Amino acid sequence: MSRKYFGTDGIRGQVGEFPITPDFVLKLGWAAGKVFARQGRSKILIGKDTRISGYMFESALEAGLAAAGVDSLLLGPMPTPAIAYLTRTFRADAGIVISASHNHYADNGIKFFSANGTKLPDEIETAIEAQMDLAMTTADSASLGKARRVEDAAGRYIEFCKGTVPRGLTLKGLRIVVDCANGATYHIAPKVLSELGAEVLELSTAPDGININEGCGSTSPELLRKIVVAEKADLGVAFDGDGDRLIMVDHQGEEVDGDELLVIIALALKAEGQLQGGVVGTQMSNFGMELALKQHAIPFVRAKVGDRYVMEELASHDWSLGGESSGHIICRNLTTTGDGIVAALQVLQAMVSQGRTLAELKASMNKLPQHMVNVRLLQKSDPTQLPKVQQAVRDVEQALDGQGRVLLRPSGTEPVVRVMVEGGDLAKVRQLSEQLAGEVERAIQV
Which residue type, as a one-letter code, is found at position 395? D
Nearest to 105, CA basis, from 162, 172, 49, 27: 49
Report how far residue 12's alpha carbon sits from residue 20's, in angstroms, rounded to the nearest whole number. 7
Nearest to 374, CA basis, from 411, 429, 418: 418
Residues designated as active site: 101
Nearest to 137, CA basis, from 70, 68, 72, 71: 68
Pairing of strands 147-149, 175-179: unpaired
Task: State residue 293 phi and psi, 5-degree precision.
Answer: -65, -40
For the CA atoms of 371, 79, 163, 246, the dihedral, rounded to the nearest 10 degrees, stands at 10
Nearest to 325, CA basis, from 274, 228, 377, 257: 257
- In the DSSP assignment, the letter for residue 77 is E
Report how far residue 307's alpha carbon sits from residue 8's, in angstroms, rounded to the nearest whole number. 9
Which residues are CB-contacts of 355 (< 8 A; sequence separation ≥ 6)? none
Q: Are 107 and 14 in contact (CB under 8 A)?
A: yes
Across 244-273, b (16+ Cβ under 10 Å) vs e yields bbbbbbbbebebbbbbbbbbbbbbbbbeee
- For 229-299, strand residue ranges (E) read 235-239, 246-250, 255-256, 279-282
